[in-house]
Each structure stands twice: as structure tokens, then as C-alpha cells.
Structure 1
Amino acid sequence: MKKSLIALAVLAAAGAASAQSSVTLFGVVDVGLQSVRADGSGSVLKMGTGLNSSSRLGFRGTEDLGGGMSASFWLEAGMNYDDGSGQAGPSLNNQAAGAANGGGLSFQRRSTVSLAGNFGELRLGRDYVPSFWNHTVFDPFGTVGSGAATNLRLKLGNSNGIQTTTRASNSIGYFLPGNLGGFYGQFMYAMGENNSNAANSSDGRYTGLRLGYANGPVNVAYSYGQTKVLARNDYKDQSIAGSYNFGSFTLMGQWGQEKLGNATGLGGFTKNSAWMLGGSVPVGAGEIKASYGRAKLDGAAGTPKGSQFAVGYVYNLSKRTAVYTTYSRVSNDAGVGAVFFTGLGASATGTSSSGLDIGLRHNF
């Protein structure tokens, strides 16, 4: 009898422990055909991945610590499901020289451990930078595929090899608690991990914040980030963006500006100012998405401008599976170089490019 009672007690304790913690395997498998055409440069038909939603494979878990506190982890790897490889690893120190690997499986999308409670959340590891969230949350295409607003919006930073336009390694992040009447916020500090005696001791150091308000149909936020880069006299990215859900459709808009003290990539321009207006309309089991944006570069070579128009449709076959198509066209105003040209590169001023995505996405 005593042995039976002891066994029941052990089983009960084990059940309670398992109820207080959980681990989940999750991911997105998104594969499609992408056709890219460029004036004077030909065309390419290829199979791509993450054209509607970024392909990934991940593990996440949470443990209830009691007293309203919890600990959690999140490991998320980017995947190239068109060929089965993992996406290239992250910059180990937020600098181009700190690249990790060329395509083996790595949790470069997110690798964090967190402690959360009534005070908010403290998060350590590799994560999205606060200054990136406005780009993706208020973009109908979620910054993926041919219609991504970042084709124009982050062109300056990406062309100059800035490693923190989207994520940062070695970061300390803090998120405000979710009970502030709709107000939310995120702060981050990330380290470049250089020797203090080095001339570039601050390189790779990122500081940023995002503050917003979401209540009912309204969501609006401001974000700012700065990365120390000695050779470029620092990189700065700021934006203000928002959305309003009218019920029958959702309207989105954003304005942003990125700056470099000096630049070599993208023709040596040092400032990129861009805006985008877009939205989505539910239609039966699907959704129509569209956006239009313009950008202007500033520098010694002049002020060239570019624009992008994108339209897409997603049809949900189930809660987890969808088919989609997106068409986008990037046009460069006649002037100083076709700097906003994407895909194959530009051969002349006033040129344009177009992209067409058709694919299948499954979430698990």
C-alpha cells in the first residue's frame, strides 16, 4: 500500500512538472518559382524559398517559475527548402568580418533565452533589432519576396555591408510588460566584442528602441537604431509607421530614413529617405495585398529616386497551408545610375526590373 502511494505521488509530481514547462517544434516550409527580369540584363527563372513567409525550423520552450515569472528559450534557423540547406550563419560580432558559416544549419534567425514577469521581459542572445520591426509589421508583404518594401527601404545599409539592419548578435533586450493600456516598447544593446585598445573598439555596437501604441484597429510605432562602424562613421536607421484596420480592409504606411557618415556601396550615397503606403483586403478564403513606395538617395553624386509597386494574392487552403502569387516592379528615375535596381543589376539610368513569385507555403 505504501509503495502504491509513493508511486502515485511520484507520478503526480512528474505530471505537475510537465504541466509547468513545454517545448514546441515549429516551422514554415515555403517554396516557389521566382522569375526576375531586368532591362538590358536579361531574365532568370529560379526556385526560391521564403517568398511569402520566411522559411524556418525552430524550437521554443517555456517554464513556469511561479509568482508570475517564467523562463523561456527560442532557437530558430533559416532554411533553404528549395535545396535542403540551412541559410548562411550570422555575423558573430555584428561586423562583416565576423561571418560564421556558409550555409550549415545555424539558429541565425533567433537564438535567445528570456526571463519574464510583471516587470516585462529580459531577453539575451541573437534577435531582431527594434529598428527592423516597423519595416516588417507594417509591410503587407512582411519584407519577403519580390514585393518586400525593404527592396527600397534598407538599400543603403545592406549595400554597405551593415550587419544589423535586421538582427543583432550578443544582444541584451528589454520589452515593456503588456498591461500598459496599449503602449508597448523594446530596447536593445548589442556588443561588437572588440578589444578596448583597438581603433575600431566600438564597431558592431548596436543601440536601439521601439515605442508604440496598439488599441483596437490602431497600431502606430516609432523606431530608432544606431550601429557603430568606424569605416562608415556609423549607421543610423529611424522610422515611423502605422496601420488601421477598417474591418473590410487594413491600411498600412511607413516613413523612414537611413544614414551613413560616409559610404562606398550604392554609389557612395550617404542618406536614403523612403515612404510606403499599402494594405490588404480579405477576399473569401484569401487576401489581396498591394503597396507602393518611393525612395530618394542623397550624396555627392546627386539625388536619384526610385519607386516600387507590388500586388499579391494569398489563398488559404487550410489554417496552415496556402498558395500565393506576387508581382513587383522597381523603377529608377532617369538620373544618376539605376541604384534601386534589384535582381540582376542595372545597365543604364532610368531602367527597371520586375519579379513574379508563385509558390506554396505550409506552417507547422
Structure 2
Amino acid sequence: MVASPLPSFETSPPYRILHVFRAPVGGLFRHVVDLARLQAAAGHQVGIVCDATTGGARADQALAELAPALSLGVTRVPMRRNGHPSDLAALRAVARRAEAVGPRVLHGHGAKGGVYARLAPTGRAAIRAYTPHGGSYNYRPGTALHRLYMGAEAMLARRTDVFLFESEYVARRHRSFVGEAGGLRRIVHNGIGEAEFEPVIPAADPFDLLYVGELREAKGLPVLLEALARLRARRREVRLLMVGSGPDSEILRARAASLGLAGAVAFEPAQPIRPVLARGRIMVVPSLAESLPYVVLEAAAAGQPLVATDVGGIPEIFGPAAGDLVPPRDVGALTDAIARVLDEEPEDRRARFAALSASVKLRFSMRRMGADVLSGYAAAFQARSTPLRPLPARTGVAGTA
């Protein structure tokens, strides 16, 4: 599975596209916002259905700014993160919206959005696209939850015209645990814009380390706090800025205090990443599981020094530099990796991460992402209109095996 050749947006037929996803937060939301803008600019009619209970004021503002590009509007209904009887009401709401706007493309994002988009009844003229964003694919194989979610994915695959995987990692997980059922498969890496490759001017008195993202244990944050404690035990006066929100924020604050780090760690709410990058010398991404995180793309594009774990699609971002990644859950390896970057000669460090930025610029273009998604839609419509050909007759000598 490889990304398709880059077509011109203008040559694609106009579509009515309805994007369905749960939470208007994080990388998944950014992906949908970028796609919606690109698709609207290319002449397509675009709408969104998402959760009404998450995202807060930042989501409200982002959706308001996006509204001029959404000729099919924004519909927000309550959606739970995990399975719940209220899912039936949400599915009915998605179905009503699809019936009202008559999309040619119903595009689900993430596990919950993928369920709604693929189960909502549509006419034969519509195709169903699905972009997983890690989520259910990241559960540990063999666990009850993993078997449950992969079984659901196998059932829903038969109602999918085209899979648009954001990383080779998730595509491999799908093939291994779901199988080959369903429609076409494409890998469409997340992409970022030209402005994100502009260098960031460091702030005065920056923190030594920076984390940006959800405050969840699955992001490896207890490991990061342990690594910080070890660095300070080596008489390094290292400080950490953690920017984000999440369900484990109070647990993490308590953990920092128990490690004697109360004065060495600052917690701040979620905010735009570019100004935050200026406030840290090294970005640390200690995740235990990921798909293709935007935070790594954004930091790498800006030439920000990075220490990250070897999980999910992060090696795809690092490319030839993937050998610099560290194993997840390994406090010692993370501590040593951070120390190496801190001790590196400034010119060497700058050159190394400038090379990573240049590599990312070649491989993760926002325009390429938008074009490949439209190409995936077009291929799915083509597959719908092409009848299956009979298998060729066998040839050979009678009686041979």
C-alpha cells in the first residue's frame, strides 16, 4: 500500500463530503480541519458532524473559524468516548444529517466516527471512507478489548469503500488483526503547511524540556517524570514544561510532587504549539503508543530538538534518523537520550534537526495529503462502477498437479 500519485485538486469532480468524528480536539481534529479547508478550496461542499460535549471554548472557536468553508454546516451531538447505549441516538443523528445533506462521501475518522459513518444508512450513490487515527488499533494484542475492537473493525470493514490509513503502522496492524476484507486501501500520511517549517525564535529563559499533548498515562508521562527525577539526581537543574489537559492531570501533578519535582515542573493548559515550542529547548514525546502524531511533525518541521519513543508511526516521521528513537517504558533509555541531546554541541544539534526538518518537508506535505484523500475517493467511485471480471480459465497439461 503506497500513497497515490499527486493529482491536481482542480481535476477532481466536485463532491458533497460529510466528515464524522467524535472529539474536536488534538491531532484528529486538526486533520479534519485541514482536509475540510483544502476540500472546500478545491470546490467541494463539506460538512462536519462531531461531539457536542468535548473541546470547550477552543473547539468552539476553531469551528467558528472553519464555518465559512463548511457549506454543509456543523452538526454537534453528544458522543461518548467508549461504547454506550447513547451511541444509538448519536448514530440516528448522523443518519438524519446524512439524509438531509445527501453526501457523495461519508468519511469517518477515528474509531467512533468510523462506526457512525459506516453504519449510518446512505444511498447507493455514496461511498464510505474511513481514516483510523490509532485508537482501538493501539490496544495490546491478545487482550479482551483488543479482540473486541478488532472484531468490530472486521465487521465494519465490509461496509468500507476505501481505507485511508494515516500511517504504515496502522495499516500493518489492520492487516494483521482485521484481515483483508473491505474496500481499497491507501496510506495518506498527515501533512503540514509551509509556514510550519519556519524556524522558531527561542524565548528568553526557556525550559529545558517540553511536553505538549494529552495528560494521560498512555502518553508515557510517568516515565518522563521519572527520567526528570533521575536527571536532577545527577545534579542537572533541568526544568520541564507540560502543556495540555487530560484525565490524568491530577495524578501526574501528584506524581511530580512525590518525586520532589514540584518546583521543576510547570503545568499549563492546551494552547497553540508554535509559541510553546519557543519556550522549550528539547521536545520530549515519551508515548507508549501512537499513530502519526502531529506534535512530532510540527516540532520536527520547526527544527526543534526532539527525543521520542520508537512507537507507532513515529519512525516513519524520523525516516533515516529512526535509530535515534528510544524504547517506550524505558526510564533509563529516555534519561540517557535526553542527556545526550542536552550535552550535544549546539551547532551539531542544530544541523541534525535541520536535516530532520528538511526530510519531513519532502515527505509530509499538507497539499499532498489533501490530494491523496481526493484520489482515494475517486478510486473508490471507480471501483464501484467497474464490474468484477471473471477469473481466466486455467491452462496446463491435464493430470499435472
TM range (shorter): under 0.3
Q: What is the TM-score of this pair, normalised by structure 1? A: 0.25
Q: What is the TM-score of this pair, normalised by structure 2? A: 0.23
Kindly indicate which of the two structures has a greater share of residues assigned to strand: 1
